[in-house]
Structure 1
């Protein structure tokens, strides 16, 4: 059983997962708002260089050498960072970061190579299989599936995440065979999945969707075992004291999640 533990830095809380105990990492809370990744990296591993991207809800995954020169001081405006939603390290002491405010932050580590990844998986990125895309890029660098560990951090929980039936079908079609079948049939197949990510909603044409569960199922269908995957027991929407939630407040604020390669 994987455990999630709270830590504090200057009385500010952040979260770690035992599945990633081999790496310096953290899922940071709203209390760290306005601190850029370079400063947060100092908390995790002062000798590491930090890297981030401009997130666009896609499935593009980069490595630091594609991001460009080190931007440890976060000197560039956010819009000047390359567009992507995932980062994979190439060598030791590289810290990769993503930010989220209801979307899923996924931190990935390879116990054999020491390399890591950080991925931002909203429903659009999940529909485009961004976490499997990150896994594929890790594999291209020598990773083996059995050596990977994936922690899916705080995000909006399925029981409160209302979406249209069309969105649920688009996301769900990544884990059930569809062959261009109708939305209703896709949803019915989703309901039959064990521990289904699809939940009912009282509003017509709407359902509730557990995006983190879909990501976990995508990974299991790649061949990963459930014990290689951990899902944080925290919902950004239902924990206003710890997390920003765009669905709750409509504010464009986010919390950062990062991990450092070995």
Structure 2
């Protein structure tokens, strides 16, 4: 059974952050793996994507991206799965369209301006986050008629600070971009730090003028029963990993 994680701030908008529960995949991808780029059985992925969409907005058309850890945002259209644009955020004002981003530790962000009828979905890995992918999504929403003063945002399951160890060079990259970024790093093992990417993305959203930012505080790495995790799979030496999806749309 699919049990979406929902945000109070988006209560009036069809949306959900999905985990691995309720799918048909087996083995390393067991559960609701929706990653077209994974090595999972294609038929299982297609069925999982169908189930995911029906759990959030029955009858809607699911639209996703070929994610590349960029800071690029696009307006969603009915492109085929094999012709998905290379980008990491998408926006729509079209009823009946369900937009989604895939994650496996990176940060999923869902945004909505209810009054304007404009929604957005963002995949923010560290490269996209520091590059401004959330800013790009907000700009695209404004171009579609949204007002950033009305936009609300929710951050779904992602790797938590306790699970996200980085090195000195990583910290330095963020500190050089803005000295204030040091607050998102806690001391870890010698020469290592723990990065709060959820907090960083929330701060970027707030700094862009988003007045309400909700964080679900769910750690993908630590909760194997509910979430896929790229870093967990890597630490175990596993050859592949599943992806979960965050979805938002407008009723038809």
TM interval, short-chain normalised: 0.7 to 0.9
Closer, same or farther: CA 45–92 of 1 in aligned 2, 3 Å: same
Count of equivalent residues: 224
* Residue of structure 2 equivalent to 1:61: 73
1:49-198 to 2 correspondences below 5 Å: 49-65=61-77, 69-71=78-80, 76-77=81-82, 80-174=83-177, 176=178, 186=179, 189-191=180-182, 196-198=183-185
Mean Cα displacement is larger for which, 130-139 or 30-39? 30-39
* Residue of structure 2 equivalent to 1:259: 248
Distance 1:21 1:202 in 2: 40
Question: In the TM superposition, what whole-angstrom CA distance separates every residue of 1:63-88 from its partner, at most 9, and x where no partner exists?
Answer: 123xxx354xxxx44xx421111110
Distance 2:156 2:198 in 1: 9
Q: CA RMSD in A?
A: 1.8
Distance 1:200 1:254 in 2: 29
* Residue of structure 1 equivalent to 2:230: 246
Distance 1:16 1:212 in 2: 16
Distance 1:197 1:106 in 2: 18
Gaps of 5+ in 2: 22-31, 34-44, 235-239
* Residue of structure 2 equivalent to 1:14: 4
* Residue of structure 1 equivalent to 2:196: 210
Give the match's secondary structure for 2:99: strand
1:25-40 to 2 correspondences below 5 Å: 25-31=15-21, 32-33=32-33, 34=45, 35-40=47-52
Gaps of 5+ in 1: 1-10, 177-185
Q: Deviation at 1:49?
A: 1.7
